[in-house]
Amino acid sequence: MLEKIDLTKKLEKQSYREKMEALELELGRLQRECHAYKIPVMIVLEGFGASGKGVQIGKLIQALDPRGFRVHAITGETEEEQKYPFIRRFWIKTPENGKIAIYDTSWYRRVLADRFSGNTEKEELEDSYAAICSFEEQLTAGGTVMIKLFLAIDQKEQKKRFEKLLESKETAWRVSREDWEKNEKYDSYVRMIEEALQRTDTDYAPWTIVEATDRRFATVKIYTTVIEALKEAVAEKKAEAGREISQETEETETWENRELEESVLAKVDLTKSYTEKEYHKKKKKLQKKIRKLHGELYRRQIPVIIGFEGWDAGGKGGAIKRLTEKMDPRGFTVNTTAAPNDYEKAHHYLWRFWKNVPKKGHVAVYDRTWYGRVMVERIEGFCTKKEWQRAFKEINDMEAQFVQSGAIVLKFWMQIDKEEQRKRFEERQKNPEKQWKITEEDWRNRDKWDAYEEAVNEMLIRTSTPEAPWVIVEGNCKYYARIKVLEAVIEAIEKRLESR
Amino acid sequence: MLEKIDLTKKLEKQSYREKMEALELELGRLQRECHAYKIPVMIVLEGFGASGKGVQIGKLIQALDPRGFRVHAITGETEEEQKYPFIRRFWIKTPENGKIAIYDTSWYRRVLADRFSGNTEKEELEDSYAAICSFEEQLTAGGTVMIKLFLAIDQKEQKKRFEKLLESKETAWRVSREDWEKNEKYDSYVRMIEEALQRTDTDYAPWTIVEATDRRFATVKIYTTVIEALKEAVAEKKAEAGREISQETEETETWENRELEESVLAKVDLTKSYTEKEYHKKKKKLQKKIRKLHGELYRRQIPVIIGFEGWDAGGKGGAIKRLTEKMDPRGFTVNTTAAPNDYEKAHHYLWRFWKNVPKKGHVAVYDRTWYGRVMVERIEGFCTKKEWQRAFKEINDMEAQFVQSGAIVLKFWMQIDKEEQRKRFEERQKNPEKQWKITEEDWRNRDKWDAYEEAVNEMLIRTSTPEAPWVIVEGNCKYYARIKVLEAVIEAIEKRLESR
C-alpha cells in the first residue's frame, strides 16, 4: 500500500489557509454531531519516525472542543502493563460514546516498533494480528468509527529530519538509536509495515496513507479523511433515526478529496517512447529471453498470473500479443474478461476467476480482471458501495492466496491520456478492420473519465502489494509500452528464480 | 464445543416418524422458496469417521427436488488439484444462486484429516485458516447461506461401528488404517477438531454439533438446523423485498429445536450431596491446599480467571466465599457484575471486563460475568439478535486472549432445579437477614425459566472450550456444590503447574 504513493505532493500556503478555514469549521461541527449521536471515534496516527505525528495531532485538535477528546501517547509497555494481555491497555483506553480518542502510535506498535526491536517474538505475531483484528472488529461492530492514518516519508527525508533534530540540544533527545536503525534498515522496516497494513486494511477499519513530506498537505489530507469518516457515520445515524440528511451535509459531500488523491496517474510521464527500430531490436531480445524463462518456470512448476487493466484503447491487446507471441502455447492461456454471463452472474463475483487460476508451471494472462469490481461495477452502480469497499480486501486476500501457493502475480495498468484515446478511437472508426473494436459504449465510458480516474487511483493504492504489485505502463507510445511489459515480466520471473 | 454435548440423546421410532413427515414437507417448501429468491445454500457435513455422514446426506436429500441440489463427496486432493491453491477446488464447487450444494467432508479436511495425516504442514496451518475464513466470509457476505454440521460420536461408539463394518466383506474396505489411528488417538484428534471449530465458529457461518449416536435423533436435528437457517434467509429476503412474512412461516417458527437442545442442564444429577460432616472435613483439606497453590501461582506469575454464573439463589455467593476464604487477600479480587452503570453503558459491553482482567500472579473471581450478553441481555432484548449471536465468538476470542497471555480460565454454572429455587426464595423472604437478597425481579426472572434454560444451553455448548471450560455444578446440595468448585479449581491449577 506504500508502493504507489507520491511523496512529492504539496500545498501552497495560500491554498492551505483557505482550505483549513473551512475544514476546521466543518470538523468542529461534526464533533458536536458525533457527540449528539453518541458516536465514539478512534483516530490512530501511525507512521515513520519524524513523519510529524505529534505536529499533526496538534493541528487536528485545534478544531476540537477540548472537553470532547483525549490524546493517548502510546509508548512501550510499562512493567505493570506487561502483566496483562497486550491488547488490554488499549481496551481500557477506548473512548466512551460521543467522545474522540486520538492515538499517537497505537496497538500497531506490537507488529511494528516492538516487532522491529525484537520485543514481539515471532511466535507471538499471529496471535497479535488476531487480537488486533478482533479488537477493531468488535469495536466497530459496536458502533465505533475507526480512522487509521499512516504518515509516510521516504528514507532520505527521514534522515534529513533526524539530522535537523540533532542540530539542537532541545530536540536531539527525540532521535533514538532505534530510530537510526529503522532509517538504516528502511527497506526491511517497510516490509513489516506493508504486511501490517495489508493484514489490517478491512472494510470496517481501513487505512489511509498520508503523504507527509509536506506538512500542509498532510494536515489537509488528515482533516479531509477524518471529516469524511465522521460525516458518513453521522449520516448513517440520521438515516437510522429516519431523518432526512440535512442539505448542509449534502452540499459539502465531495470536498477536496479528489484533488488530494489524483496524482498516481497524473504523474505518469507519457512522453516516454522508443523508435520503431529500437523497439524491434529490444523486442526480439526480450521475447527470446521470455521463451527461455517460460520453460524454466515449467520445470520449476511455478504458476504466473498476469493481469491487464487500462483505459479503453490503452494497448492491452497489443501488449498481450507481444508478451505471449514466442511462448510455448501449451504453457499459457489468455483469459478475456467481459461482462459476466448469466451463469457467472449466478455466482460470487470472484468465482469465475478462481475457476481460471493457472495450475503450477503455467502462465495465465487476463485481459481485464477481477478489478472490474472496483472500476466499472463501482462506477456503474452494479454493486453497492459496501460491496466495492469490501472488495479491496477480498481481492488482496485472493492474490495473497495465489502467492502463498507459489505463484508470481503481476498487474499492469496501461495508461494513456484523454487526447491519445480520442485519436485512437477515431482511428478505429476510420479503419474498417478495426471498427469492431469501437462501440457507443466506449464513447460513453470516455465521458466518465474523471470518475474512472478517481476509482483507478484508489485501486492502485489499496491493492499494490510487494508480492502482487501494480506496474503502471506509460502507454502513449505503443512501442514503449510493449517493451516495458516484457521487461517487467522478465524481471519478476528472474527475481523469483533467483530467490528460491 | 464438543465438551458439553450429550451423546446419549435418542429418539423413538414413532416420534421420529411423526416429526419427519412434517420436516420433509417443510424442507421441500423451503428449497422452492430459496430457488425463487435465488439464495445459494451450502451444507457442510463434517464429523468423526463412521458417524454417519453418508447416511445423513441420504436422508437429507429425500426431501429435496433433485434438480436443485448437488452432493460433493470430497476426498484427498488429486494430483491435478495439488497444482492449485487448496481452496480453489472448493471455490469452483460453490453452488449457483438458488441451488443447494451438500459437502460430504469439505475444506475442513485441510485442518482436520489432512493435518492429522501430516499432509498439511505446520507452517501451512495459519494460511489455511485464513483462507477458510476468507472463503466463508466472502461467500456469506455475497448472500450464501452456510450451514456447517459436525457429527459427533464418542471413541467407544466409533470403535464399535468400525468393528461392525469389518465383520462383512462388503463394508470392511470402508475402514482404513487411518480411521483406526484416529480412533486410537481420539483425544489428540479431538484437540484438532476443537481448534478448528472454535476458530471458524463465526456469526456468518456458525457450527452446529449433531449428537450422532442415535441415527434418528441426528436426522431430526440436521433437518431442524437446515430448516431454521433457510427460514431465516428467506425471511430476510422477504423483508428486503418489503413484503410481509407469511403467516405460515411465523407459525412454524419455534419448531422442535428446544426439545432437541435441552439436555445439557436436564441431565445434571441434582441428588448429589455431602453430609455436613463430610463437607467440613473436605473443605478444610481443600482450602489448605488452595492456599498453598495460590502462593505458587504468585511465584510463577500465573493469572487465574474464575467466572460464576447460575440461577438466582443457585449458590454463587456461598461458593465464592468458601473458595476465597483462606486465600491471601492481597492476591485475589472478587468482581461483582451488576447491570452496567451509565459510564459502562457508554462503552463496548466487554470494556468493563477488560478493565478488570487480573494481572499476572493474581486471581480474579467474577460473581456474574460477560456472559450476561447471551443470557439476560438476550432474553430481555437489551441487545439485538445479531449482537448476541456475534457475542459467542467475541467472548471466545477474549478468553482465548486471556489464555494466550498465560491465564488459567474457568467458568462455573451453578445448577439447581426450579423447586429448589422456590424453596430458597421463600426462605429468603422469611429470614429478615436474607430479605435484601430477594426482589420482585427475581420472581419475574423465574417466570422466564424456560427461555433462560434454552439460552444457557446454547451458551454452554458454544463457549465451553478445552482452554476455558464450563464446569456445571450440581447445586441442590450446597455442601456438594462448594466442594466441587474447590476441587475443580485445584485440579485446573495443578494441571497447569505440572504442564509448564
CA distance A31 to A36: 9
CA distance B324 to B306: 11
- Decide if pLDDT at A247 tops 60: no
- CB environment B105-119: b (16+ within 10 A), e (fewer): bbbbbbbbbbbbeee
Q: What pLDDT is recorded for position A144?
A: 95
Which residues are CB-contacts of B160 (< 8 A; sequence separation ≥ 6)? none
Please write the tens of the pLDDT for every residue from B376-435: 999 999 999 889 988 998 999 899 889 988 999 999 999 999 999 999 999 998 888 888
Please write the tens of the pLDDT for every residue from B119-177: 888 888 888 998 999 899 989 988 999 999 999 999 999 999 999 999 988 888 888 88
Q: What pLDDT is recorded for position A242?
A: 67
Cell of A393: 480486501
Q: How far is CA A21 from CA A26, A63, A67, B114, B349, in A?
A: 9, 10, 21, 62, 38
Banded pLDDT at A127 (limits 50, 70, 90) = confident
- Decide if pLDDT at B255 tops 80: no
Please write the tens of the pLDDT for every residue from A2-46: 877 888 889 999 999 999 999 999 999 999 999 999 999 999 999
- Decide if pLDDT at B252 tops 50: no
Burial (CB count <10 Å: 0-12, 13-18, 19+), residue B263: middle
Residue A130, SS3 per DSSP:
helix
The CATH number that domain B13-261 falls under is: 3.40.50.300
Please write the tens of the pLDDT for every residue from B39-94: 999 999 999 999 999 999 999 999 998 888 989 999 888 888 888 889 999 998 99
The CATH number that domain A266-499 falls under is: 3.40.50.300
CA distance B378 to A403: 43
Mean pLDDT of chain A, nearest integer: 90
Report the gap between the CA of A486 and the closest CA in chain B (Å): 25
Q: How far is CA B475 from CA A154, B287, B325, B483, in A?
A: 66, 19, 19, 10
Banded pLDDT at B263 (limits 50, 70, 90) = low
Q: Do B85 and A348 touch (CB under 8 A)?
A: no
In chain A, residues 416-455 whose CB comes closer than 8 Å to chain B: none
Q: How far is CA A112 from CA A75, A116, A152, B441, in A?
A: 12, 6, 14, 50
Q: Which of A154-163, A186-195, B25-34, B437-446 has the lowest mean pLDDT?
A: B437-446
Q: Do B346 and A97 touch (CB under 8 A)?
A: yes
Banded pLDDT at A173 (limits 50, 70, 90) = confident
Interface probe for B, chosen from A297, A348, A386, A397 (most Cβ of B below 10 Å), is A348
- Decide if pLDDT at B499 tops 60: yes
Q: What is the mean pLDDT of residues A243-248?
A: 48
CA distance B405 to A253: 45
- Decide if pLDDT at A254 tops 60: no
Banded pLDDT at B440 (limits 50, 70, 90) = confident
Burial (CB count <10 Å: 0-12, 13-18, 19+), residue A284: exposed
Cell of A245: 440528511
- Decide if pLDDT at B262 tops 60: no
Beta-strand pair A100-104/A69-73 = parallel
Q: Do A405 and B85 touch (CB under 8 A)?
A: yes
Please write the tens of the pLDDT for every residue from B349-391: 999 999 888 988 899 999 999 999 999 999 999 999 889 988 9
Q: What pLDDT is recorded for position A253?
A: 42
CA distance A173 to A162: 10
Q: What pLDDT is recorded for position A243?
A: 52
Domain span(s) for CATH 3.40.50.300 in chain A: 13-261, 266-499
- Phi and psi at B247, nearest 5°, equal -55, -40
Q: What pLDDT is recorded for position B172?
A: 87
A91 touches B at CB < 8 Å: yes
Banded pLDDT at B101 (limits 50, 70, 90) = very high
Q: How far is CA A131 from the centre of its chain?
A: 23
B100 chain-A contacts, CB cut-off 8 A = none
Q: What pLDDT is recorded for position A258?
A: 52
B348 touches A at CB < 8 Å: yes
Cell of B381: 432484548
Please write the tens of the pLDDT for every residue from B183-201: 999 999 999 999 999 889 9
Interface probe for B, chosen from A333, A393, A401 (most Cβ of B below 10 Å), is A401
Mean pLDDT of chain B, nearest integer: 90
- Decide if pLDDT at A342 tops 90: no
Q: What pLDDT is recorded for position B431?
A: 86
Is A111 in contact with A140 (CB distance < 8 Å)?
no
CA distance A352 to A346: 10
Q: What pLDDT is recorded for position A174?
A: 85
Banded pLDDT at A163 (limits 50, 70, 90) = very high
Please write the tens of the pLDDT for every residue from B203-241: 899 999 999 999 999 999 999 999 999 999 999 988 887
Q: What pLDDT is recorded for position B254?
A: 40
ipTM above 0.90, yes or no: no
Q: Do A354 and B91 touch (CB under 8 A)?
A: yes
* Residue A227 or residue A80, greater confidence: A227
Q: Do B355 and A141 touch (CB under 8 A)?
A: no
Q: Do B343 and A96 touch (CB under 8 A)?
A: yes
What is the percent of chain B with per-residue pLDDT over 70, rounded to a whole number? Answer: 95
Q: Do A348 and B138 touch (CB under 8 A)?
A: yes
Q: Do B394 and A138 touch (CB under 8 A)?
A: yes
First to last CA, chain A: 25
Q: How far is CA B420 from CA A397, B97, B415, B476, B484, in A?
A: 55, 53, 10, 7, 19
Closest-CA residue to B202 (of B137, B109, B125):
B137
In chain B, residues 280-309 whose CB comes closer than 8 Å to chain A: 301, 303
Q: How far is CA A98 from the centre of its chain?
A: 30
Q: What pLDDT is recorded for position B258?
A: 52
Is B226 in contact with B147 (CB distance < 8 Å)?
yes
Interface probe for B, chosen from A78, A81, A88, A145 (most Cβ of B below 10 Å), is A88
Q: What pLDDT is recorded for position A263?
A: 64
In chain B, residues 371-390 whose CB comes closer than 8 Å to chain A: 390
Residue in the structure block whose three cell numbers are 522508443: A274
Residue in the structure block whose three cell numbers are 496471535: A127
Interface probe for B, chosen from A80, A200, A203, A354 (most Cβ of B below 10 Å), is A354
Which residues are CB-contacts of B373 (< 8 A; sequence separation ≥ 6)? B349, B383, B387, B388, B391, B395
Banded pLDDT at B248 (limits 50, 70, 90) = very low
